[in-house]
Chains A and B, each alone.
Chain A
């Protein structure tokens, strides 16, 4: 009996000691996760895990492959150099359709993966209804859409939501400044697609025009699928310039109807202009009369980082990269840099690092989080030739409304 008691005590002690030993090993491993090598490289205890919420080609009618192709190239580039923190980067893609209910399911699936960061939701129609879930998610989400109305002011600061796209209202204000300062227009007509993108764009442009002493000659709206904008275009006949925040199809209709009606006003739009001209629906005088904007110009950028990216992307995917591919690429790189800076794959530490990180990427030589956690602060003005080639006029900065900065231009 005594022997049995002694044996039991010895066994119990052995179990306790073994458990302590495991715990110590675990602590050692955890400490090891954040240690730096002699060369300054961070060694992480586990791989950097990223979830991409975007659709690949064919996953829905609206799916475009550019986001996945851009992010995949970034992961391949990182892993070719040994990954991050001594581990290969692990990216999981979950399709996030435009339908908000299904996008919500995709977002919840992404949270379940417990990644260090999520990249995705390319449409503001997805982001706006999901904003409360993103804010409570506990994982930094780098949004691929300019969802300006979803996260504003104090709510945005310190939250889990970051945006890789420049502020929509900021771009719209800069387009209005460009039209008034560079094109010397005073009487302005506004055409806005009937959705938050068009309305916020026109509101911001109207404010700039009025602040600068210009005159809003007419303001009109149209449906996203409109194929006839006769009334809207005729209302612009005495304008010096028409600022148009529209989708590519109606933008093409406006551009052509302005010419057909002999209206000589200059025509300025956002990123849709490049898509409309590239489709071939806007050409000749309608194209030379058009000014556009793009978030990113990786194929025109002369920096070696952009040239290398463009060449590698085209070689891998068979088409030239656009802003969507480049911003997805930059998003992966930003999360990798934030992880290195945080010396951890813990979501909260990665988010904190993203808030203070400065990074030279493809689309912005100086990515940094602003008062609403928008990371990207520049875009490009474009012109087009009669045959549809685009030309970058100049780069411009999209200021942070929370900072006392003004618009500056760069070459």
Chain B
């Protein structure tokens, strides 16, 4: 039983981070129709910015994290201006390639700025453990789950209850019609890139203290986030979050008891199964389109 609880806690925390990454994908996808492949490097950059604000600027963890996440919002807006806005109206594939290029630029810039040696991101709960029915659960993982649930609730509220959310849904449904109705689609796409980058920064800040921060930190999370977005149907907010948690728990719990050696492949096996059986996603209603 302690093993099951420990694995379930790990899977839930992993799923939470994947869900944050998937939310970032989804926000940009809804606002612009583009999949942002710089999301993984934005996660890494967020963690490095937090290392910089806490270890080098000497800020304590809360203002340090807040500054890093705010900086990530600005970087997201800049990314929109550089990698998306000039290519608006061009093929989606061109924009996707531009986001890949932006990811490589970011990675190189991190290497020049911070070097390639791993760095450590401080956290007030990094070494603390919560004992549950004989299982040791790192408090950092509990924090990850709680913060993610709060952020997901906030994003859902914005989507469902605010004017910005309604506009975003209108743009996702039909960009041109939304523009004709007076929705400022350009501002909306800037806000979506900024919020998505801030979510990536938050993910980096949350997973950084689990190990050390290096240039590959965000890559695996991005792949998981992409798989979660597909599981959720790439349009359904709740579906994407559920997809993230499902992937994390599948990898840790199923992979913890069976197929241990190949457990990192399990999320993608699940993704392929969903594409084959239910291409519209787990929680999306209506007939799916075969890929």
Cβ-neighbour of B215 out of A62, A194, A256, A259 (below 8 A): A62
With an 8 Å Cβ cutoff, the count of chain B residues facing the other chain is 43
Residue of A nearest to B256 (CB): A231
Contacts of A60 in B (CB 8 A): 108, 111
Q: Indicate if the CB atoms of B6 and A223 lie closer than 8 Å.
A: no
Contacts of A224 in B (CB 8 A): 216
Cβ-neighbour of A61 out of B116, B129, B256 (below 8 A): B116
What are 28 A-B contacts defined by CB distance under 8 Å?
A: A61-B116, A63-B111, A64-B115, A64-B116, A194-B264, A225-B220, A226-B220, A227-B210, A227-B217, A228-B10, A228-B210, A230-B9, A230-B252, A231-B256, A234-B6, A252-B211, A256-B126, A256-B211, A260-B136, A261-B136, A275-B117, A275-B118, A279-B117, A279-B119, A279-B212, A281-B120, A281-B211, A284-B127
Chain B CB count within 10 A is highest, among A220, A224, A276, A281, for: A281
Task: Give Cα A357–Cα B119 distance, bound, in whole angstroms.
Answer: 40
Q: Indicate if the CB atoms of A231 and B252 lie closer than 8 Å.
A: yes
Say how far B145's CB is from chain A's closest CB, in angstroms: 13
Contacts of A284 in B (CB 8 A): 127
The answer to whether the Cβ of B149 comes within 8 Å of any Cβ in the partner chain is no
Task: Give Cα A262–Cα B256 distance, bound, in whole angstroms.
Answer: 19
Q: Indicate if the CB atoms of B119 and A260 lie closer than 8 Å.
A: no
Q: Which of A252-281 contact B (CB under 8 A)?
A: 252-253, 256-257, 259-262, 275-276, 278-281
Residue of B nearest to A319 (CB): B115
Task: Give Cα A130–Cα B108 distance, bound, in whole angstroms.
Answer: 25
Residue of B nearest to A259 (CB): B127
Contacts of A259 in B (CB 8 A): 127
Q: Indicate if the CB atoms of A227 and B211 lie closer than 8 Å.
A: yes
The answer to whether the Cβ of B97 comes within 8 Å of any Cβ in the partner chain is no
- Beyond A61-B107, A231-B7, 6 extra complex contacts between A and B, CB < 8 Å: A223-B264, A227-B220, A228-B14, A230-B6, A231-B260, A252-B212
Contacts of B213 in A (CB 8 A): 279
Residue of B nearest to A280 (CB): B120
A-B contact count (CB 8 A): 111
Contacts of A220 in B (CB 8 A): 260
The answer to whether the Cβ of B21 comes within 8 Å of any Cβ in the partner chain is no
The 10 A-B residue pairs with the shortest CB-CB distance, nearest first, are A280-B120, A281-B212, A231-B256, A61-B111, A61-B107, A279-B118, A230-B10, A225-B220, A58-B112, A253-B211
The answer to whether the Cβ of A57 comes within 8 Å of any Cβ in the partner chain is yes
Contacts of A57 in B (CB 8 A): 111-112, 115
Say how far A353's CB is from chain B's closest CB, in angstroms: 34
Q: Indicate if the CB atoms of A262 and B211 lie closer than 8 Å.
A: no
Residue of A nearest to B265 (CB): A223
Q: State the A residues within 8 Å of B (CB).
A: 57-58, 60-64, 194, 220-221, 223-228, 230-231, 234, 248-250, 252-253, 256-257, 259-262, 275-276, 278-281, 284
Say how far A338's CB is from chain B's closest CB, in angstroms: 31
Contacts of A278 in B (CB 8 A): 117
The answer to whether the Cβ of B166 comes within 8 Å of any Cβ in the partner chain is no
Cβ-neighbour of A250 out of B6, B10, B111, B211 (below 8 A): B211
Residue of B nearest to A257 (CB): B138
The answer to whether the Cβ of B214 comes within 8 Å of any Cβ in the partner chain is yes
Q: Indicate if the CB atoms of A276 and B217 lie closer than 8 Å.
A: no
Contact digits for B125-151, partner A, Cβ 8 Å, 1 yes 0 no: 011010000001010010000000000
Task: Give Cα A276–Cα B118 distance, bound, in whole angstroms.
Answer: 7
Q: Indicate if the CB atoms of A260 and B138 lie closer than 8 Å.
A: yes
The answer to whether the Cβ of B3 comes within 8 Å of any Cβ in the partner chain is yes
Contact digits for B1-12, partner A, Cβ 8 Å, 1 yes 0 no: 001001101100
Chain B CB count within 10 A is highest, among A228, A275, A280, for: A228
The answer to whether the Cβ of B13 comes within 8 Å of any Cβ in the partner chain is yes
Say how far A175's CB is from chain B's closest CB, in angstroms: 21
Q: Indicate if the CB atoms of B207 and A249 lie closer than 8 Å.
A: no
Task: Give Cα A224–Cα B220 distance, bound, in whole angstroms.
Answer: 10
Say how far B64's CB is from chain A's closest CB, in angstroms: 15
Task: Give Cα A62–Cα B107 distance, bound, in whole angstroms.
Answer: 9
Say how far B121's CB is from chain A's closest CB, in angstroms: 8
Say how far B279's CB is from chain A's closest CB, in angstroms: 28
Q: Indicate if the CB atoms of A249 and B111 lie closer than 8 Å.
A: no
